[in-house]
Amino acid sequence: MSFRRNNNEILREIQEYRISSAHTNAAYKIPIENQFIFLKIYGHKQPRLTYEMRKFLGYFGLRQPIEYSSPIKRKNFEEGILKHWRVNGYNVPSIVNNPLIALSTFPILTTKFIDGITLRELIREEANEPRKKEEKLGALFSEVADRHDRAFLNNDNRIFHIDANTRNIIFTDEAIYHIDFEMGRPWEPVMACACREVLKLLVSIAEDMEPSSRESMFKLFKDCYRKEEVYQFIKKGIVERPFQRVHRFRNSKKKMKNPGRVTLYDVLRHLF
């Protein structure tokens, strides 16, 4: 009981350092020895019922995406991906020792805090000049293209950023960093992983920008990313899915509910 109380006391002490998160994990920016570290405590996913059902299916051998694994499995997976990216020379946060030993019983990831602006902030802030936005987007798209070339060359499905939304890409003065790697399907081939990253990235960027700017963004991406086989795989995966009428009906319903919503069919229209 006393150890549980100590855990709760420390959580209360660091509450002031908690930062907003789009996930159910608790995230903190904690000052340690004249620098900041990022601390993430993995929790159960929401909605909880869906999460528990997917975990249950996983126990019976039905493969489930990493995000539906237990907190400790998600932690181990993300640590492994971070180490793999760094060994291969890619910019991700470096893992540091957990400074809060009393919380060591929790599934915790501690990394160096990356100080910069997110891709979402870059796109949405009006103070950023259009030329600056285009230059940084071009740099990001070229980084994705080069990394995918290497992934296909080495048949490496671990250097894809499956959750490449605009909150998980950070621009610093020196580099582009990718963060948050607790999503994935380790059994999928590189082609499927490449398509997942491209679609997640393009949908997320398009939804964060003005509709009038989307066409130029897609053109810039196509100028930087020239893997035609990936584009064709994306097209096939969308238009050859079973129950096309159902998918298109759901697409139209999403558009009616939120006209700014970007769907897979929108991406397809811009890419082709």
Count of CB atoms within 10 A of residue 194's CB? 24
pLDDT(3) > 60: no
How far apart are the C-alpha atoms of 51 and 46, rounded to whole Å?
Answer: 7
Alpha-carbon distance of 259 to 1, in angstroms, equals 52
Is the model's pLDDT at 219 over the cut of 90?
yes
- Please, which pLDDT band fits residue 6 given cuts at 50, 70 and 90? low
> Which of the four pLDDT bands, split at 50, 70 and 90, describes residue 23?
low
Please report, for residues 81, 231, 236, 256, the alpha-carbon distance to residue 150 in angstroms, rounded to integers and kept in the order given: 16, 17, 23, 40
- Quick one: tokens of 184? 């994935």
Average pLDDT of the residues in 21-40? 85
Residues 6+ apart with CB under 8 A from 248: 265
Check residue 22 and give its pLDDT. 62
Model confidence, pTM: 0.91
- Residue 103 confidence class, pLDDT cut points 50, 70, 90: confident
Report the C-alpha gap between 59 and 177 in whole angstroms: 34
CA 19 – CA 28 distance, rounded (Å): 5
The predicted model gives 100-106 an average pLDDT of 82
Residue 262 has a pLDDT of 93
Could you tell me where the beta strands, DSSP code E, fall in the chain?
Answer: 18-19, 26-32, 35-41, 108-112, 117-118, 169-171, 176-178
Band of residue 102 on the pLDDT scale cut at 50, 70, 90: confident
In tens, the pLDDT along 116-154 reads 999 999 999 877 788 889 999 999 999 999 999 999 999
In 10 A of CB 218, how many CB atoms?
18
Q: What is the C-alpha separation between 88 and 235, in angstroms, rounded?
A: 30
Task: Write down the number of H helices and E strands in the chain.
Answer: 10, 7
Sequence-separated (6 or more) residues with CB below 8 Å from residue 264: 199, 203, 238, 251
Please report the pLDDT score of residue 4 as a whole number. Answer: 45
Give the model's confidence band at 1: pLDDT under 50 very low, under 70 low, under 90 confident, else very high: very low
Mean pLDDT of the chain: 91
* Residue 146, pLDDT score: 98
Query: What tokens does 176 get?
Result: 């582009």
Give the mean model confidence (pLDDT) for residues 96-102: 86
The pLDDT value recorded for residue 50 is: 86
Q: Is the pLDDT of residue 87 over 50?
A: yes
Mean pLDDT of 57-69: 88
Mean pLDDT of 77-100: 95
Contacts of 36 (CB under 8 A, 6+ apart): 29, 30, 112, 113, 115
Domain coordinates in residue numbering, the chain: 2-112, 117-271
